[in-house]
Amino acid sequence: MKKGIKKTWNFYRKKEMKISIKQKLLGSYILVLMIPIILVGAFLATEIRQNMINTKIEEIESNNERIETFFLKNLSAVIRIADWIYQDDDLVELVTHRYQDTFEVYQAYGEYEMFDDYIKYYDEIENIRFYVDNPTLTSTNGIFFAESEIVKQDWYQDSLQKKGQISWKKIKDPITGKTYFNLTRSIFREKELIGVLSIAFDNEVLQQTLVDSSDPVFITLNDETLLFNYPQTENTVEMYRNYQLSSLEKENKINSENIQKEINNQDFVLNIRRLNIPKTNQSIIKVIGMVPTKKIVWEANKDIMFSYLVVLAFFALSIILLGLFIRKFNERVIKLNKAMSKVANGNLTIPEKIEGNDEITEVYDHLYQTVQSLKQLIEENYQHDIQEKNLEIQQKETQFKVLASQINPHFLYNTLEMIRMKAFKNNDKEVAEIIKILSKLMRKALEGNLKEQPLSEELSFTEMYLQIQKLRFGNRIEYTITQEIQEDYQIIPLIIQPIVENSFIHGIESKEQGGKVEVFVLEKNNELIIHIVDNGIGIEEEKLQKLKLMLETEGEANRIGINNVNQRIKHFYGEDYGLDIESNLGEGTKVIICLPIKQLSKHKGVGENV
């Protein structure tokens, strides 16, 4: 059993799983991009949710601060009016005087217009009620007789007990029947009660302050009486009351961080602001903003879900675009792979281009250039091999034509040596010298099967030929070989002597006297230049042009002459090298041989003048 498991394990270990580039790209995208984004998104979602809750808390605090500022401003205005009324001696005189008839009362009221002015210029005041114990007054113009029903009310008795201190009460107005938030205060002069003052807030002005709030907010009095709330949600008020904050208030912790954290950990976010009302000690007014935590979380989750949907939509779009890209990319990689496989198998026929403009395109272009270079190299090697074969054939033909017979060369050489010895014995030194030179020429011809030889040997061979011609023509001809170089170079054999021979055959033999052949060797622009100049009869212009055209056209080299030499030079050295001919009829001919410099060794040449 163990052996079977081990064998199976080794099999799967040895089995190489092929993973395509397409799979790698998709896997990399999921691992490198999608998973980190999902993890970061989850983290950010938590942080965003908490930030939104914190932002909502700050928003509630800011809103409550705005309401507190507005409310305190209105309360302060009412307190100022209450102070003015408290200090108004004219009012005290008005309400303490005992009147004889109603006319006298109305006349006194007509002279006192302060209550009307206060109501007129202060929008936050709904009405002013001043209750006095003076039965001679009529209940009008804001001054009312304190009837027993009013005196019995709690707010009235509370004001009497506080002896001039300001209190805030929610009171049902006995005149209009509506309930208002009132400032109450008893007014005394020298410990004698003058009356009880009640200033009612305009409910619409205060309610408008809450309407601008985007979250539930309400105002309480002594944690028992609900003054105002917006929107009209009793559930919110009940939730607040259920936490029994009054006990905490006694510890003066209502605005502390501890109570704030305790409440915020429950089912709602709560912000309480206790108003520091001037000259008020007994009444506690609070601005309370409260939002259920579920609502905040729901709003946060809604935004997060929307963000998730947007991210998922972008993910889906990115997957589609990535799929299209990978598909196109994979097709191009497969084309590149097929092209490389064909080249590796020896098939050099591949398309010139593949679509795209990126690194794959560059790699394919380099592959195509490499294939073209291989083709060119193969073609050049093939042409070079053909040229070498043709050159060898031409050299053999040249050698055979120089020998010009099927006579055994060694037999001919030995025969010439025997004739030279007999001429020398017969004291015919001139004939012996001619035969000696001719023997050297024959021996040189026998050895002329090398591809290249030193320039000095080629010049030596040419000089031997010129010596024979000098012996033949005597004083009719002269010749010189001049070198302007100090180094020896490699050249192919039998390229100077045939040109010199042409100079004799076509130029000097037809001239009765004064024949001259000059050979100049020089170096110019990293090229070896050889001039063969004669002063023969020259070449006609028409014949010269045909000869130049023949040199430019590669044809069959069936003769030992200029065309043969020119073709061998081009085959061996390239089309940039060869022969050029200049001639004037009746003046002579110059043949210029141009070869690349191929240095053999650094030593002086055979001599400047021979």
Q: Are residues 174 and 281 in the same domain?
A: yes
Q: Which residue has the higher pLDDT, 605 or 5?
A: 5
Give the count of beta carbons closer than 10 Å to the beta carbon of residue 4: 8
* Whether pLDDT at 501 is above 60: yes
* Whether pLDDT at 246 is above 50: no
Q: Are residues 373 and 243 in the same domain?
A: no
Question: Residue 102 corresponds to which tokens in the numbers above?
Answer: 């109603």
What type of residue is 601? S
Q: Are residues 217 and 361 in the same domain?
A: no
Residues 440-452: tens digit of each pLDDT = 766 666 655 557 8
Question: Residue 463 corresponds to which tokens in the numbers above?
Answer: 């000089």
**Residue 75 and residue 200 in contact, taking contact as beta carbons nearer than 8 Å:** no
Full residue range of the structural domain in which residue 164 is found: 53-295
Nearest by Cα to 185 from 90, 281, 83, 93: 83
Q: Are residues 237 and 363 in the same domain?
A: no
- Which residue, 295, 324, 351, sits at the end of a domain? 295
Long-range pairs, 24-28, Cβ under 8 A, ≥24: 25/322, 25/326, 25/329, 26/322, 26/326
Residue at 250 is within a domain = yes
Half-sphere exposure of 272 (CA within 13 A, CB side): 29
What's the confidence (pLDDT) of residue 225? 76
H/E run at residue 161: helix 154-162
Q: Are residues 290 and 362 in the same domain?
A: no
Q: Are residues 362 and 261 in the same domain?
A: no
Question: Residue 340 corresponds to which tokens in the numbers above?
Answer: 């490389």
Q: Are residues 287 and 364 in the same domain?
A: no
Residue at 289 is within a domain = yes
Q: Position of tokens 């002015």?
A: 117
Residue at 11 is within a domain = no
Q: How far apart are CA 336 and CA 330, in angstroms?
A: 10
Q: Are residues 249 and 140 in the same domain?
A: yes
Nearest by Cα to 227 from 244, 205, 254: 205
Q: Which of 302-316, 406-420, 442-456 has the highest mean pLDDT?
A: 302-316
Q: Are residues 461 and 370 in the same domain?
A: no
Q: How far apart are CA 584 and CA 538, in angstroms?
A: 5
b vs e for 255-266, b when ≥16 Cβ sit within 10 Å of the residue's Cβ? eeeebbeebeee
**Residue 348 and residue 40 in contact, taking contact as beta carbons nearer than 8 Å:** no
The percentage of residues in the chain with a pLDDT greater than 90, rounded to a whole number, is 12
Instruction: Tell me the DSSP string of 48-99.
Output: HHHHHHHHHHHHHHHHHHHHHHHHHHHHHHHHHHHHHHHT-HHHHHHHHSPP
Residues 433-490: tens digit of each pLDDT = 777 777 776 666 665 555 788 988 889 888 888 888 887 788 888 999 999 888 888 8
Q: Which residue has the higher pLDDT, 242 or 273?
A: 273
* CATH number of the domain enclosing 284: 3.30.450.20
Lowest mean pLDDT, pick from 147-156, 205-214, 399-408 = 399-408
- Which residue, 238, 261, 295, sits at the end of a domain? 295
Question: Residue 233 corresponds to which tokens in the numbers above?
Answer: 């949600």
Q: How far apart are CA 171 and CA 184, in angstroms?
A: 10
Nearest by Cα to 493 from 463, 449, 437: 449
* Whether pLDDT at 258 is above 60: no
* Whether pLDDT at 493 is above 50: yes
Q: Are residues 592 and 526 in the same domain?
A: yes
Average pLDDT, the chain: 77
Residue at 218 is within a domain = yes
* Whether pLDDT at 98 is above 60: yes
What's the confidence (pLDDT) of residue 580? 92
- Which residue, 383, 408, 439, sits at the end of a domain? 383
Q: Are residues 463 and 348 in the same domain?
A: no
Q: How far apart are CA 5 and CA 11, in angstroms?
A: 10
What's the confidence (pLDDT) of residue 102? 84
| Per-residue confidence band for 6, with pLDDT thresholds at 50, 70 and 90 | low
| Per-residue confidence band for 156, with pLDDT thresholds at 50, 70 and 90 | very high
Residue at 266 is within a domain = yes
Residue at 513 is within a domain = yes
What type of residue is 418? M
Instruction: Tell me the DSSP string of 385-443.
Output: HHHHHHHHHHHHHHHHHHHTS-S-HHHHHHHHHHHHHHHHHTT-HHHHHHHHHHHHHHH
Residues 53-80: tens digit of each pLDDT = 777 778 878 888 888 888 888 889 999 9
| Per-residue confidence band for 406, with pLDDT thresholds at 50, 70 and 90 | very low
In the chain, how many domains are there? Answer: 3
What's the confidence (pLDDT) of residue 557? 45
* Whether pLDDT at 10 is above 80: no
Residue at 400 is within a domain = no
| Per-residue confidence band for 256, with pLDDT thresholds at 50, 70 and 90 | very low
What integer is the mean pLDDT of 48-56? 75
* Whether pLDDT at 118 is above 60: yes
| Per-residue confidence band for 579, with pLDDT thresholds at 50, 70 and 90 | very high
Q: Are residues 117 and 240 in the same domain?
A: yes
- Between the alpha carbon of residue 467 and those of residues 17, 339, 464, 481, 525, the distances in Å are 84, 66, 5, 12, 32
* Whether pLDDT at 604 is above 50: no
Residue at 427 is within a domain = no
H/E run at residue 485: none
